[in-house]
A and B are shown apart, each in its own frame.
Chain A
Amino acid sequence: MKHKLGYLALPLLMAAAFTTQARADGETIAVFTKNQTNPFFQTVRVGADNMAKVLNAKTLQYIPTKPDSIPEQLSQIEDVVVKKPSAIVFTPVDYKAMVPGVEKINEAKIPVVNITDRSAGGKFLSFVGADDYSLGLETARFLLKTLGGKGNIVIIEGVKGSLTNVDRVRGFNDALKENAGAKLLASQPGNYQRLQALQVMENLMQSNSQIDGVLAANDAMAVGAIEALDGANRKAQVIGINGTKEAIDAIKSGKLLASGDYNGFAQGCLGTMMAIRSLRGQPVISEIVLKPTVITKDNYQPFDVPLEQRTCPTFEDAGKLGGK
């Protein structure tokens, strides 16, 4: 009898193990990003897809058709709550205004990971993001080191009042304070737009005959400023933030001094990884704030790889990259 039971139990146990395995695969992860226009979020989405593929899960991308639209993301949340994905990886289009949306997800008991912009409220499994303040601080420090700690500097800001801009510019300013020889000539907005940054730079060059360094709050504005400098046959060291492909190309050709890596790819990978691990009952890291990397002509190579060919960090790497 005992033997018979044993024979019966073994295949049963094995079947049970297989079904657990089967149930653990094929989850659907809804990935929310802010817009379809900023290359940064494209890197986030590719990272999320990449990780989902490695772990045998699926992603569903939710992107507002109107960039950063609060009402649109809210209605996408309403749709998704009805559709019930296994988990959500979430970037709020506005860190304060989307809190009611996050609460809706919480009420529906769908596990959710917060990436990129830290939500002002709601319950999350985990947060994965970069630190805008240290990105600003480290890139500005690198620029000032290159200039020998002195020189005339201008800041081209992003959208006034946006979380990323406030922190990046605070980092820029703190690095300037560390260098008594550096003089801030102006801090004007380019609203993260290339054309606006170019025109602001053209105008600033008129009233300032010597500009040695430009701190731009994103790469598009940095490249806009470089176009303005080129047009006027003037030279200055320029830094940007985000580590876009365009910025890497500009670093290679020596036009851009450096860019701070915002690491969208890793954010997408790790956010998705945490969501899936939690669904499979594996431990997760509750907070990963990626350490800033200043991409320069000496270390750009790993960033000069097409997105599709990059590989996601492993769980072991995640801790080293900035887990808490």
Chain B
Amino acid sequence: MTDITKEAMMPPRSFLSQDAIQVFYRLLAALLICAVLAVLSDSFLSLGNILNVLRQASLTFFIASGLTLVVLTAGLDLSVGANVALSACIAGTVIHKTGSPALGILAGLACGGIVGLLNGVMVTALRIPSFIATYGMLWVLNGLTYWYMAGETLHGFPAGFRQIGSGYLFGLPIPVYLLLVFLGIGTLFAQRTIWGQEIYAIGANPVAARLSGIPVARRLLLVYSVSGTMAGLASIIFLSRLNSAEADIGESLTLPAIAAVLIGGTSLFGGVGTVFGTFIGALILTLVLNGMNLLSVSANWQPLVTGIIVILAVWLDMKTRHRAQ
């Protein structure tokens, strides 16, 4: 293999790479939104509100962080929201039946992970395009969850368990700690490990990746399993924060997660993007909704503004990348 093909296949992922510059732009955009909101609303910059924004962004981030890896391989996981719903219902049932939050957490993570693994099997062994495989999975999961819950909700969980989603440690909400931990793990994994590099390579050029000896199928299985497990984690946070599980939460979680990945600069064509970018994406989404609530902007504007931001982010991304090349 010549140096040139190696370079094209595996671009160096140092911290000052092109991705870092993209992340910088997004950070700037987030700060700009903050500045505008700080001028418009007195309460925006209060510590309480900043913690609010971080905690609200964390749920979207957990789902979107695993999804980022999938998108980096040029795939998509449309089943994440439905996976959160099923995992939450299963975790909730296990806690009710056994009285053990630990077993419930394990069940939720396992359910999420198994669904992810099945997605991976469909994509690798059956060679179904991920968009279709996970879309099918979305229906399967909805069907299972609706049947299982039969219009009921599960509610009322032990106070200790509730701490995960609602508790504070040294003045910071616990989900914010988890956010920082998974942001760190995700970033290190993607930028600093061989597996992470291989995932970028698969997204950039799957044929070249296979020819250069990367076990593509195994890495894809890993990536979909991670996405599913992160949905499982999100289900635990959801359950603990809201004190209830219901069947119809999926739909309201999938699209914001995909939007966070896209606003964060991860390309749907694969090979380009960062987990940190996704964090900023989740933050921007949350800031916009938070700002509109603080300013009492009419409800109808909220989805509209979100849509425009997604389109703008993707467009700007293509513009700036084009120039960089």
Contact = CB atoms under 8 A, between A and B. Distances in A.
Nearest to A205: B48
Interface string A115-148: 0000000000000000000000000000000000
Interface residues of A, number: 42
B296 A188 contact: yes
9 contacts: A36-B147, A65-B139, A188-B296, A188-B299, A199-B289, A207-B42, A207-B43, A227-B242, A246-B155
A66 B138 CA distance: 11
Contact of A36 (B155, B247, B294, B300): B247
B43 A42 contact: no
A313 B237 CA distance: 42
Given A186-B296, A203-B289, 6 more contacts: A38-B248, A157-B299, A203-B290, A204-B293, A223-B243, A246-B153
A85 interface: no
A33 B153 CA distance: 18
Contacts of A40: 151
B246 interface: yes
A249 B154 CA distance: 12
B238 A39 contact: no
Nearest to A46: B151
A248 to B, nearest CB: 11
A45 B152 CA distance: 12
Nearest to B248: A37
A313 to B, nearest CB: 22
A35 B143 CA distance: 12
Contact of A188 (B42, B59, B293): B293
Interface of A: 35-42, 45, 65-67, 157, 160, 186, 188-189, 191, 193-196, 198-200, 202-207, 220, 223-224, 227, 230-232, 244-246, 249
Contacts of A195: 59, 238, 242, 249, 252
B146 A37 contact: yes
A136 B244 CA distance: 25
Interface centre among B42, B49, B166, B248 (most CB of A within 10 A): B248
Nearest to A203: B293
Q: What does DSSP make chain B's interface, helix, strand, loop or mixed?
A: helix
Interface centre among B43, B52, B151, B248 (most CB of A within 10 A): B151
Nearest to A160: B299
Contacts of B59: 195
B241 interface: yes
B46 A194 contact: no
Contacts of B242: 194-195, 198, 224, 227
A37 B151 contact: yes
Interface in B222-266: 238, 241-244, 246-249, 252
Contact of A39 (B41, B44, B146, B152): B152
Contact of A206 (B43, B147, B244): B43
B83 interface: no
Nearest to A192: B248
B56 A65 contact: no
Nearest to B296: A186
Contacts of B68: none
B150 interface: yes
Contacts of B238: 195
Contacts of B136: none
A43 to B, nearest CB: 8
B150 A206 contact: no
Interface in B32-57: 41-44, 46, 48-49, 52, 56
Given A195-B238, A203-B294, A42 B155 contact: no
Contacts of A198: 241-242
Interface in B265-296: 289-290, 293-294, 296
A50 to B, nearest CB: 15
A42 B151 contact: yes
Interface in B135-192: 139, 142-143, 146-147, 149-153, 155-156, 166
Given A65-B146, A160-B299, A195-B238, A206 B48 contact: yes
Contacts of B56: 199, 202
B62 to A, nearest CB: 13
Query: Which 9 pairs, one residue from A and one from B, show the smallest C-beta to C-beta distance?
Result: A42-B151, A37-B248, A203-B293, A189-B299, A36-B146, A206-B49, A207-B43, A206-B43, A37-B247
Contacts of B252: 191, 193, 195-196
B246 A37 contact: yes
Contacts of A42: 150-152
B266 to A, nearest CB: 24
A186 B297 CA distance: 9
Contacts of B46: 206
A245 B247 CA distance: 16
Nearest to A44: B151
Interface centre among A65, A196, A199 (most CB of B within 10 A): A199
Contacts of B44: 206
A166 B208 CA distance: 57
A36 B244 contact: no
Contact of B241 (A37, A196, A227): A227
Given A160-B299, A231-B166, A206 B52 contact: yes
A77 B288 CA distance: 42
A163 to B, nearest CB: 16
Nearest to A37: B248
